[in-house]
Amino acid sequence: MLSNRYTPDSRLNLDSPEIKEVLRRIDAPPPQTVQPQAAAKIAAFLANRYSLRTIPLRLAELAEEGHHQLCPANMSRISVGVATCGQAAGAGFRSILLSARPDFVNDTMVRNVGCLGACFAEPLLDVRTPDGLHYFFGQVNSKNSIVHWSIIHTAQKRSWHRGIWLIMRERQPGMLTGFGDLELEKDYTGYLGTFLEHQKRRISGNCGLIDPHSLPEYVATGGYFAFAKALLQLSPAQVLAEVTASGLRGRGGGGFSTGEKWEIGAASRDAERIIIANADEGDPGAYMDRALVESDPHRVLEGIMLAAYAVGARQAHIFVRHEYPLARASLRRAINDARDAGLLGNNILGTGFLLDIGITQSAGAFVCGEETAMIQVLRGNRGEPLPRPPYPAQKGLNDHPTVINNVETLANVPWIIAHGAGVFREVGTAGSPGTKIFCLAGDVPSAGFIEVPLGTSATTVVEKIGRASPQSVKALQIGGPSGGIVPYSDFFLDYTSVSSIGAMIGSGGLVVLNKNRCLVDLVHHLVGFMADESCGQCLLCRDGLATLKHMLAILTGKEAKPELLIAKLEELSWAIATLSRCGLGRSAVNPLLTTLKYFREEYNAHLDAICPAASCKAMIHFEIIPAHCTDCENCSLLCPVEAITLGPGKGPERYIFNHDRCIRCWTCAAICPHGCIQAVSGGINACEIAHSDNC
C-alpha cells in the first residue's frame, strides 16, 4: 500500500500490483463527458483558424476530448516531462508518486508529457491551474524531496508556492494550442524565461505541453486539421505548390529544396511512389529528431501523410535509429491510434486516399542516414551507398521514386499547410525561410534543444539562450562530424552564412567549446568516428580516414612528429573529399579543414608537443596550486596508480607527483575539493605513456 508520505529514498518495486495500477491509470484517459452544446467549440475555432470549411466529425470529437484534457475547467493538471532526458534525470519516479495520490482523484490529473527542450532543467514539471496559469518546477529529481509538497499544494490550492521556477499564462485562458499561446508571467530563475523567450517554437510548439501518446491532445492543438484541409479542399498539386512556395529546405543536413524533391517524385511516370522519413539522426550531439518524435509523434506522422498526398505515395517508411527505443515506441503508438481513428489505412476521411506507414529499425550504422544507403538497408543489403544519379526521388526503393525527408523537415509541413507559405516566410531569411531546431550542447549552462528563426545570430543563441559568457567560448562545432569547427563570433545561423565560413548547419547540432577543449584531439575523435562508420567501399574514405586518424594520433601523442605532417593532413583530406562516393567521405574532413584554417596555431603547438588546452595526455602533467591546498591527502589516496606520494612535513610541498607513473586519468583534479590540481602542458614532464591510449 503506497502511503501519502513521500520518503526520499523509497525504492519502488515496479512489478508490484499497486504500481501497475498507477501506470495503467496514467495511460488511460481520465473520464470526461463532452457537453453536447460545447461539442464543436474548440474544433470550430481551429477550423476557422486554418480555413477548414467542413470539420470531419471524428476530428471534432477528438479535439474536444483533447481540449478537456489539456485545459481542464475544474481540475489542475500536472504535466511531468518523461522523455529520454527527463527519464534519465529521474522524472518517471516522480510521475508515479504523484499519480498514486488518492486525494488527487477529483481535483488534479497527472499526465506524462514530452520534452520542453530545457534539458538543463530536467526533470521539468508543469502545474496548470484552471485559470490558465502554468507553474513550472525544474530539476524535480529524486534528490529534491521538499519540492514535492510545493507541487501538490500548487495543484490543489492553485496558488504560488516556494520552489516554482517560472510562471507562464495562457494569453487567452482556457486556450492552449501550442507554446505560442503562452506568455511569460514571472521568471524566478533569471534564465529559464530568457531561454524560452528568444525562441520561436512553431514546430516544437507541442513538445513538453502535450501527452505524446494522446491523439486527442494533438488534435486539440490543431493536429490533423492541415491534413483534413489538404484531403478535403486541396489537390496534391496545390499542397506541393504550397511547400515549394514556402522555400522549405531539408532540415537533416542537405538543405535541399523540399518542394523540388517532391516535384521530382510527383513528376515521375512511375505511379508507385514511396515516402521515407529519416529518423536515423546519426550526428552525435544532435537529438532534435528524437525530441520531436518522442514528444510530438503525430506531427511527424501528419507531415508524412501530407508528403504522401502531395507526391502520390501510398506507402511510407520511418527509418529510426536503434539507439532511440522510446522514439520507436511513441511512433508505434501514434500509428496505431491514427489508424484506429481512420487517419491511416484505406479511404481516409472518406476521400479514397490510402496510406500505410511502417517503422524500420536501424542497428547502429551512421552511413545509413545517407539516402541510397538507407534504401539498400530497406532492401536487405549492407548499407553501402550507390552512385548518384540516379537520385532516389527519381529511382529509389525497388526502383520506384522514393522521396526521403528528415523528420524535422516533415514536421514543418503541417504548419505550412495550416498557416500558408507566406506566413511561413515571415520568419527566417529569404534564402533560409522558417525556423530551425538546434541542439545546444557542450560548455554552455543552458543546454537543450531550441527553435529559432534561421538567421538568428550565434551570440543570441550561445549567450542569451545558452547563458554562456562570451569570454569562455573558444569555438563552435556546427553540424556534427560532417560540419565545421569555427571560432565563436557573431555570424548568422542560416544556410548561406554558415557555409560561407566553411561550416554547414547540417542537422543543427551546436556544440560549444571552451578553452579547455583541445580542438586537435576533438578532430582526432571525430575523424576516428567517421573512419569507423565508413562503409568501406571507397579506398580513400576507408583507408584515408584511418590514415588521417593515425596522423592525428601522432600529432596528439608522444611520438616524434614527421616533417610536413600538417601539409600531408591537408593534402590527404582534399583527396578524400574529392574521391569519395558519398557525403560521409566528402564531409568527414570538414572538422579538420576548418580547424586547420581557423586554429592552425593549435596544430603548430602540438608539433612542439604543447597542448594549449592542457588536455592531450601525452603533453600534460599535473601540478598543485599551492595557495588553495589544505593538505587533505585525497589526491594521494585516490590516485589509482599511486602516482602521488607524500613526503615528510606538512603542506602542498610534500606532494610528489610521479609523472612517469601518472596515467592522466584526471581523478586527482576531479576530486580535489578546492580545485587546486591543474594540468599543465609543455616542459620536460610531458609524458612517456603507452601509445595505445591514443586510439
Partner 1 sequence: MPVKSRIQIIVDGIPLRVEAGVPLLATLKAQDVAIPTLCYHPQWEQQERCSLCIVEVLTAQGIWKAAHACSLYCEPNLVIRVSSDCIHSLRAWAARLLLARGPFRDSAVARTLHDILDAASADPDYQEPPLIWSENRAMPAGCILCGRCITICRKIGKNKLTFLGKGQRLTISYINDHADKAACGKCHACSLVCPTAYIQSNGQAAFSAKLYR
Partner 2 sequence: MSNFDNQDKKLCLAEIIRETPPIERQLINTICKIQERNGYIAEDDLQVLADESGQPESALHGLVSFFDHFRTRPLGRNHVSVCYGTACYARGANLVYERLAAELELDDGGNSPDGFITLDKVQCVGACSLAPLIINNGNLEGRIKPHQMPAKLEELRNRDAE
Task: Give contact residues for partner 2 (rule: CB under 8 A).
Answer: 84-85, 87-89, 119-120, 122, 281-287, 290-291, 315, 317, 322-324, 356-366, 377-383, 439, 441-443, 447-448, 477, 480-481, 509, 511, 513, 517, 522, 525-526, 529, 535, 638, 640, 665-667, 670-671, 693
Q: Which of partner 2, partner 1, none does 571 bind, CB closer than 5 to 8 A by kind?
A: partner 1
Nearer of residues 314 and 525 to partner 1, judged by Cβ? 525
Min CB(16)–partner 1 separation in Å: 42
Rounded to a whole number of angstroms, the minimum distance from the CB of residue 539 to partner 1 is: 5
Environment class of residue 601 by beta-carbon count within 10 Å: exposed (0-12), middle (13-18) or buried (19+)? Answer: exposed
Residue 362 interaction partner, one of partner 2, partner 1, none, beta carbon < 5-8 Å per kind: partner 2
* Least Cβ distance, residue 269 to partner 1 (angstroms): 21
Distance CA 18, CA 640 (A): 45
The strand pairing partners of 478, in sequence order, are: 484, 510
Q: Residue 291 Cβ, how far from partner 2 at the closest point, in Å?
A: 8
Phi-psi region of 674 (alpha: psi -120 to 50; beta: other; left: phi over 0): alpha
Q: Of partner 2, partner 1, none, which one does residue 448 interact with (CB within 5 to 8 Å by kind)?
A: partner 2
Instruction: Of 318, 338, 327, give the one whose Cα is nearest residue 296.
Output: 327
Q: Tell me which residues touch partner 1 (CB under 8 A).
A: 365, 367, 382, 387, 531-540, 542-547, 549-551, 554, 562-565, 568, 571-572, 575, 578-579, 581
Contact partner at residue 538 from partner 1, partner 2, none, CB < 5 to 8 Å by partner kind? partner 1
539 binds, among partner 1, partner 2, none (CB under 5 to 8 A by kind): partner 1
Closest CA to 134 of 191, 77, 177, 83: 77
Residues composing the chain:
695
- Of 154 and 580, the one with the shorter C-beta distance to partner 1 is 580
Distance CA(132)–CA(115), nearest Å, equals 20
Phi-psi category of residue 600: left, alpha or beta, with phi > 0 → left and psi -120 to 50 → alpha: alpha
β-strands 166-170, 133-137: how paired? Answer: antiparallel
* Closest CB 308 distance from partner 1, rounded Å: 32
Selection from partner 1, partner 2, none that 230 binds (CB < 5 to 8 A by kind) is none
Minimum distance from residue 550 beta carbon to partner 1 (Å):
4
Distance CA 210, CA 297 (A): 11
Residue 575 interacting partner from partner 2, partner 1, none (CB closer than 5 to 8 Å by kind):
partner 1
Q: Which CB atom, from 444 or from 452, has the smaller least distance to partner 2?
A: 444
Q: Closer to partner 2 at the Cβ: 108 or 694?
A: 694
Structural contact between residues 240 and 416, judged by C-beta atoms closer than 8 angstroms: no
122 binds, among partner 2, partner 1, none (CB under 5 to 8 A by kind): partner 2
- Taking the complex as a whole, how short is the minimal distance between the CB of residue 481 and partner 2, in angstroms? 7
Residue 312 interacting entry, from partner 1, partner 2, none, C-beta within 5 to 8 Å by type: none
Phi and psi angles of residue 524, each rounded to the nearest 5 degrees, phi first? -55, -45
Q: Which is nearer to partner 1, 359 or 565 (CB)?
A: 565
- Report how many helices (DSSP H) and strands (DSSP E) the chain contains, helices first: 28, 21
Q: Give the nearer residue to partner 1 in terms of CB position, either 192 or 552.
A: 552
Pairing of strands 313-320, 166-170: unpaired
Cβ proximity to partner 1, 407 vs 569, nearer residue: 569
Q: Which is nearer to partner 2, 258 or 295 (CB)?
A: 295
Q: 517 is in the binding site of which of partner 1, partner 2, none (Cβ under 5 to 8 A by kind)?
A: partner 2
CB 292 within 8 A of CB 407: yes
For the bound state, the minimum distance from the C-beta of residue 459 to partner 1, rounded and expressed in Å, comes to 36
Cell numbers at 589, concatenated:
574532413
Residue 133: all three cell numbers together: 496559469
Work out the number of other CB atoms within 10 angstroms of the CB of residue 35. 10
Task: Look at residues 562, 591, 586 and name the one whose alpha carbon lies nearest to residue 574.
Answer: 586
Least distance in angstroms from the C-beta of 620 to partner 2: 13
- Tell me how far, at minimum, the Cβ of 279 lies from partner 2, in Å: 11
Which residue number, 490 or 559, has a Cβ lying nearer to partner 1? Answer: 559
Which residue has 607527483 as its cell numbers? 657
- For residue 325, how many C-alpha atoms fall within 13 Å in the half-sphere facing its CB? 1
Nearer to partner 2, 182 or 447 (CB): 447
Other Cβ atoms less than 10 A from the Cβ of 675: the count is 10
Which single residue is written with the C-alpha cell 568527414?
588
Cis peptide before 445 (omega within 30 of 0): no
